[in-house]
Every structure is written in C-alpha cells, then in structure tokens.
Structure 1
Amino acid sequence: MEANPRGIPKAPFVENVEDHVSPQEPVEIVLKKFQEAAAKYKFMEVNMLQKKRNLDAKIPEIRKTLEMVQFLQSEAAEGDDSKEIETLYELNDTLFATANIKPTGKVCLWLGANVMLEYPVEEAAELLSSKLEAALKTLKNTDEDLVYLRDQITTMEVNTARVYNWDVKQRRLARAKAEAAGEE
C-alpha cells in the first residue's frame, strides 16, 4: 500500500464503483468502510493540527532563548568580568523586571518536566540550535502531512459520494424496471 514518507496510507480512488460493490460487500458496507477511513484521516488531521499549534508556540520561545544565549555568549567572549549587563526580563506574559547580571559563561535552561540544567553558554547555544532545527523540520513535515491528509480526506469523501450516487442511480433503474414490468 502506498504511503507518504511518514507512513500515512494513501486513500484509494474509486474509478469504477462496480469493482467495489458486490453481493459479498453491499453498498452499505462499502459506504461504511469509506466513512470510517475518512474519519481516521480526520482524526489524524486533528492530531496534526494540535502538533502544529504546539510547534508554532514552541519555536518562537526556542528562538528567543537562543538569541539571549548568543548575546550572553558574545558578552562572555569579550572577557570583561567586571562588566554588568542591565536587562529587562520576563516574569510573566505581561510582567517584566529589570536586573543587572554579570556574564558568567553559564546559563540555566528549562528542559521541561520541572527540570532546569546549567550549561556553558557554548553548549547551550549548540543545544538550542539543534532543538530549533529539529522543531523547524518537524513543523515542515507536519505542514506536508496536513496537506497530504486533506487530499486523502477529499479522496475518501469523493469515493463515498460516487458510491452513494451510483447506488441511487441503481435503485432508480430498478424502480423504473419494476414499474415498466408492472405496466405490462
């Protein structure tokens, strides 16, 4: 079965409805299968959208932290240990405070799960750069997957409509035959 690079299966396109409908698989069962497949794709899409929202929030934070670490790295590289940096730092989304800090060549980074570690600024910059690169790659893949999923959802909806319309046509033909046979 075909799939995208991250393993999402490709939805088959129904060109000939008669190939999918048989006495063993009546229209109702085929429609149910197509609707279930479309629901699975929609579920994956919802999860991908949540992942994208998380990345959209996370990437600016990583960039902002990386910029600060690079600034501290440049200040530490100057070698003036007595120089203090006056900075405005964020306590909350809308609350900031002023502080005077001496560049020490070390920074503390939140890693998540209430864990903070101290790193030399060079190591912190490398770590944040790799995290940013990975997050950007994941965002790109997520965007590609969302486009792919939308295509698969559309394909399954078209398949469902084609089978349903074919069934309506077959019922009309059967009714017309029955009416013609009844008139004779």
Structure 2
Amino acid sequence: MVEFLKERQNGKSEDDDVEDDDDELEDDETEKKPLKTTFELNDTLYAEAELEDTDTVFLWLGANVMLSYKLPAAISLLRSKLEAAEASLTNVISDLEFLREQITVMEVNIARVYNWDVKKRREKRELEAREGGKGTAEKDSG
C-alpha cells in the first residue's frame, strides 16, 4: 500500500510538471515572446535564462535521453504524456480504494474469528466446570 501511496504522490507531481511545461510552451507559441526558463547546472545549482525567438525545444525523455522538438510537436508530446500520467494516477487511486476496502474486510474477519475463538473457549470452560462439578458430586456420594 505504501508503494501505491508513493506512486500516487509521484504521479501528482509529474502531472504538475508536465502541465507547467505545456502551458509555458503554449504561451511561447502564441505570443512569440522570449521564453524564460530555469535549467540545472548541478544537483543543487540552477540558472535562469531568457531564450529569444524559439521555435525548437529540447525535452528530457528519461534514461539520459534528450530530443529536439518543434513547438507544436513538443506540445502534442507533453499533452499525450499528461493524459497518460492522469490515466495512471486514476488507476493508482482506484487501486488504493480497493486496498482500503480489503483492509477493512480483513479487519472485520479477524474480529469475527477472534470472537468465535473467545466463544468456543468460554463454552469449553463452562463444559469443563460442569463436568468437574459432576465428578466431585459423584465422589462425595460414593
């Protein structure tokens, strides 16, 4: 369940990142103004840049792969990634709901088995007490 929770959180942040990138590219395409961006120089060091008249963007695809795209192609790629991420997030959320239901069912079943065991032990003690009482009464009369 912890893995599903982590996956849900990662899916939400991925959705936000892709949405931000998509919005930025759409603004750049429609307004043709300089594109302001932040890029990573090191793990903890970032720099800001302003790109003039951009019609090409470079997107990280993962596994250390970066490709060059024209703006319309980049926007369509980001939209398809966003749709896939939203679908994945929906699946993870439904899986989490199913797991919560199953946990509740298991807790109820455990309680039922425990109560059944308590009842059986009580019946056994009562039976032993009755048989023990009969045994002492027979010895006294004998």
- With the length of structure 1 as denominator, give the TM-score of the two structures: 0.65
The alpha-carbon distance between structure 1 residues 86 and 179, as it changes in their structure 2 partners (threshold 3 A), is closer
The CA deviation at 1:88 is: 5.2
The alpha-carbon distance between structure 1 residues 63 and 93, as it changes in their structure 2 partners (threshold 3 A), is farther
Q: Helix, strand or coil for the counterpart of 2:107?
A: helix
One of 13, 18, 28 as aligned partner of 1:57? 13
Does the alignment pair 1:165 with 2:110? no
Query: What is the correspondence of 1:1-184 to structure 2 with a 5 Å cutoff?
Result: 45-76=1-32, 85=34, 87=36, 89=38, 91=40, 95-99=46-50, 101-184=51-134
Larger fraction in helix? 2
- AA aligned opposite 2:14: K
Q: Distance in 2 between the 1:131 and 1:117 partners?
A: 15
Residue by residue, what CA displacement relative to the aligned partner does 1:88-132 show, whole Å, maximum 9, x if unpaired? Answer: 535488855242x22232110011111111011111111110111
Structure 2 unaligned segments of length 5 or more: list them: 135-142
- Contact 1:52–1:142 (CA under 8 A) maintained in structure 2: yes
Q: Calculate percent identity across the aligned residue pairs.
A: 39
Q: Distance in 1 between the 2:81 and 2:116 partners?
A: 52
Q: Distance in 2 between the 1:114 and 1:86 partners?
A: 24
Name the Cα RMSD after superposition.
2.1
- Contact 2:34–2:53 (CA under 8 A) maintained in structure 1: yes
Structure 1 unaligned segments of length 5 or more: list them: 1-44, 77-83
Q: Helix, strand or coil for the counterpart of 1:109?
A: strand
Q: Helix, strand or coil for the counterpart of 2:124?
A: helix
What corresponds to 1:27 in structure 2?
none
The CA deviation at 1:69 is: 1.5
- AA aligned opposite 1:132: L
Structure with greater Cα Rg? 2
Q: Helix, strand or coil for the counterpart of 2:66?
A: strand
The alpha-carbon distance between structure 1 residues 74 and 93, as it changes in their structure 2 partners (threshold 3 A), is farther
Equivalenced residues, count: 132
Larger fraction in strand? 2
Q: Distance in 2 between the 1:123 and 1:69 partners?
A: 10
